[in-house]
Structure 1
């Protein structure tokens, strides 16, 4: 999902790629797909690997799962990097929400002509499960949510990364940052007014390339290193 950024991120730390429910190498699951249940899956994976805590980075749907993991299981989350992620469904542009609402069984056939299917068929245990994945994602993306109250209670350092031509307006990312306590005052010469959270708006970047542009890891790595 993060293309060349995986290698850049792995240069200074262990990186574990997670195939969420019905994604990639994970077999199709016979249960509804929700952000909450997938967050439980991620937390259980971290615990099963014997890791005390982990930094979690997620993009779009995966960003929502990463955010819910921080909300539901803060004990296993060291920090969050949320890429093209909204804290409420209304944060997406109307045309993005319309596209989510329009997803249905016929979408699976159309999407077989996209790079997403090409990547899926290379690793899926059963490529015939592709319609299951598309249907489950479509149902998950239609669920309304607003996690603003929970976001305001997050305790781990959190970085938001969006493109200036992303699927949500930059103002949503600024509002998100504000819920975390960021952008409330001048940091001062000694940076004493700076929060532990970070916001990066990448210029000339869309929802469809932010996961692969080198600027993403360029922004995330200093934060992951504790800057």
Structure 2
């Protein structure tokens, strides 16, 4: 467990295991603890680098707006600081957006990309989820005091009093429109999309996202099947998919299968 000074931040990360690096990025208001239930399955096969994103967990706020693009640059700077030229990158929800932007902005650093409960455009969220995210602000932070998320933050954050600031910055980020469809279609690495069957992202967006990666063509013999994959995990929701043993069961085979060369 350590901090790395990059891009004007002290980014907290922890390493465990051995083998090819797998970098884990958590969701909104979370920290590396989000992966505790699945860590043992991953660390048995991979060298894990779990990261606390800016303003989250043990990484202090940087007195700047939260942006997917800048957080992606922070992750890339950390990978270079750790001399990791090519990693497998897994991001969940907010961390999925950061992972996707990392792959778009720094494609040579990412060998394979896993996005868990992540849309490629803001309109990919369910309308109810969009309405809830739009209401994230300091008042919402006060209502969330005493919840498990707040208690974890208060226990590990360098400045626990920044809890309302995190909600203000997060709400401003989550209200910003984006559509990365064109950039997704140009990604050079294999991508695994993982969703819950009761996710905050509708199935139609899952299919659209997979289509951008060349999926869903319906060929009978699989000759045109892309290197990317789509997994919809049954009996789960956006809140619990990241802690389910079904997640490493879907992810690990994707990370080890031999991808077919394009064309």
After TM superposition, is the score higher than 0.5?
Answer: yes
| Whole-angstrom CA distance in 1 between matches of 2:42 and 2:72 | 22
Paired residue for 1:101? 134
Structure 2 CA distance for aligned equivalents of residues 202 and 163 of structure 1: 5
Please tell me whether the aligned partners of residues 187 and 194 of structure 1 are also in contact (alpha carbons under 8 angstroms). Answer: no
For the Cα contact (< 8 Å) 1:58–1:82, is it kept in 2? yes
Report how far residue 187 of structure 1 moved. Answer: 5.6
For structure 1, the residue ranges without an aligned partner over 5 or more in a row are none
Contact 2:137 2:164 in 1 (8 A): no
The one of 232, 245, 251 equivalent to 1:220 is 251
CA shift for structure 1 position 3: 2.7
* Structure 2 stretches lacking a partner, 5+ long: 1-33, 259-263
Is the contact made by 1:3 and 1:211 (CA closer than 8 Å) also made in structure 2?
A: no
The residue aligned with 2:83 is 50
Contact 2:193 2:230 in 1 (8 A): yes
- Measured after TM superposition, the shift of residue 82 of structure 1 is 0.1
Show the counterpart of 2:230: 199
Task: Confirm or deny: 8 A CA contact 1:64 1:85 kept in the other structure.
Answer: yes
Deviations 1:132-166 (A, max 9, x none): 21111111111100110000000111000001100
Is the partner of 2:130 in helix, strand or coil?
A: helix
Tell me whether 195-204 or 3-12 shows the greater mean CA deviation. 3-12
Q: What is the 5 A alignment of 1:172-211?
A: 172-186=205-219, 188=221, 191-211=222-242
Provide the residue aligned with 1:85 in structure 2. 118
Answer 1 or 2: which has greater strand percent: 2
Instruction: Please state if 1:110 is matched with 2:162.
Output: no
Task: Specify the SS of the correspondent of 1:81.
Answer: strand
- TM-superposition CA deviations, 1:3-41 (whole Å, max 9, x none): 311221111110111111101010111001000000000
* Superposition pairs of residues 7-46 of structure 1, within 5 angstroms: 7-46=40-79
Alpha-carbon distance in 2 for matches of 1:186, 1:112: 51
Alignment of 1:162-173 (within 5 A): 162-173=195-206
Question: How many residues of Structure 1 are paired with residues of Structure 2 in the alignment?
Answer: 225
Q: Which has the higher contact order (CA 8 A, sep 6+)?
A: 1
Note if contact 1:35-1:65 (Cα within 8 Å) is conserved in structure 2: yes
Structure 1 residue 49, shift from structure 2 partner: 0.2
Instruction: State the TM-score, normalizing by the size of structure 2.
Output: 0.83
Q: CA-to-partner distance for each residue in 1:180-225, whole Å, 9 max, x for gaps?
A: 011113261xx43221101000111101101101101110011122
The correspondence for 2:193, drawn from 157, 160, 173, is 160
